[in-house]
Structure 1
Amino acid sequence: MTRTLAFPAAAPEAAVEYFSAELGFEVDPDDLVQDLEAGRTDGYVVVETRAPEAFAHARIPGAINLPYRDLTPETTAHLDRNLVYVCYCESTVCNAATKGALKLAELGFKVKRLSGGIAGWIAAGYPVEGDKAGGMRCAC
């Protein structure tokens, strides 16, 4: 038997359930940039969950900064609970987006995570705002 098939593939019905759920948790940079460039921003907010200095350095245009360490009922009281908060951080080796999404979900907000973070966004050639000096770093 091959290593690839050492564990049998799931039944199609189980695969539909699994992959549908996965897509409910994440959005990829290409889908997001297409929405942003087309002005389709109703229903969601892009959220940088790292520290303010990372946000100042490089951010997705239109993103807001909600450092995950600062998320409390008080600091999120002004947020619209009808929106989906698309959280991102530095990259796949940073978990600030996961921590931010978890805290927001615990506070009752709908969330998604951006695959690849700002590093993936930049690597794809998508636009950024900020001073961009000093290279990328986690800063979470």
Structure 2
Amino acid sequence: MTIEPRVLTSPALDSATAAAHLRAELALDVDPDDLIRDLTADTQRGYVVVETRAPEAFASARIPGAINLPYRDLTPESVSNLDRSLVYVCYCESIHCNAATKGALKLAEFGFKVKRLSGGITAWQAAGYPVDRDTLALSLTSAPTPRCAC
């Protein structure tokens, strides 16, 4: 009796379909390495990095230069002053949080171009990349750091 590999239980896509799917994934996702290269080379043009978690999470640790747009608070009115020519790169806590997806979805529904940062702030910090913190958040060392905060 021949045992079929589990990996091939569902057949692989033909190359053209696979390429289209993977191209679409890359159109939606950014990885921390590409983002840090832009930040350190000062080539961050055409996009804004957006923290989509709550303000307390933003205060405790954020990607330098990021703005805070908590997904729960996004309305057409709250984003009316944003530049529609830019791409908004949304991030949240990690792959276990979907605040970036929820924020990117709302922004896309409001007519903005969006991407997501793969792995969120957790992947960013795991790679050893810098974070900014509010002074007040630094003084609250006894308080636990907000995790998902969405």
The TM-score by the shorter chain falls in which range? over 0.9
Match of 1:30 in 2: 33
Cα distance in 1 for residues equivalent to 2:47 and 2:13: 33
Deviation per residue, 1:41-94 (Å, 9 max, x gap): 110000000011110000000000000011111110110000000000011111
Asked if residue 88 in structure 1 is aligned to residue 98 in structure 2, the reply is no
Shift of 1:135: 3.2
Match of 2:148 in 1: 138
Match of 1:128 among 128, 131, 144: 131
What is the one-letter code of the residue matched to 1:57?
S
Asked if residue 119 in structure 1 is aligned to residue 122 in structure 2, the reply is yes
Match of 1:41 in 2: 44
Q: Is the 8 A contact 1:89 1:117 kept in 2?
A: yes
Of residues 8-17 and 79-88 in structure 1, the stretch that sits farther from structure 2 once superposed is 8-17
Cα distance in 1 for residues equivalent to 2:63 and 2:148: 15
Gaps spanning 5+ residues in structure 2: where? Answer: none
Runs of 4+ in 1 over 6 A off after TM superposition: none
Match of 1:60 among 54, 59, 63: 63
Over aligned residues, Cα RMSD in angstroms? Answer: 1.1
What is the one-letter code of the residue matched to 1:108?
G
Gaps spanning 5+ residues in structure 1: where? Answer: none
Q: Is the 8 A contact 1:119 1:136 kept in 2?
A: no
Q: Which has the larger radius of gyration?
A: 2
Deviation per residue, 1:14-58 (Å, 9 max, x gap): 111010001111101111111111111110000000011110000
Cα distance in 2 for residues equivalent to 1:56 and 1:102: 23
- Other structure's SS at 2:101 match: helix
Percent identity between the aligned chains?
68
Cα distance in 1 for residues equivalent to 2:125 and 2:117: 13
The TM-score normalised by the length of structure 2 is 0.90
Shift of 1:136: 4.8
The TM-score normalised by the length of structure 1 is 0.96
